[in-house]
Amino acid sequence: MKQLKLAGRYFLIFIMVYGLFSAMMLLISIIAGLKMSYDDFSKLGGIVGTSWWAFRIINHQIDNR
């Protein structure tokens, strides 16, 4: 059971890192394509922040199980 929990955590971390990397690549391509306004940046920051907190909460739930 403990091994499964550990595997789940590493899988989540992998998804998070991969998602972050692809988001960065997308962001770079968007910026290169068209100069983004400040509002777009703040919106993107909000999305990233929200997903980060969701990840933290999920990790906490796994710990408590």
User: Which one is predicted more confidently, 38 or 1?
Assistant: 1
Instruction: Express each pLDDT in 6-54 by its tens digit.
Output: 888 888 888 888 888 888 888 777 766 666 555 666 677 777 777 777 7
Could you tell me if 13 and 52 are in contact, meaning their C-beta atoms sit under 8 angstroms apart?
no
Task: Supply the pTM of this predicted model.
Answer: 0.36
By the 8 A CB rule, do 55 and 16 touch? yes
At 41 the pLDDT is 65
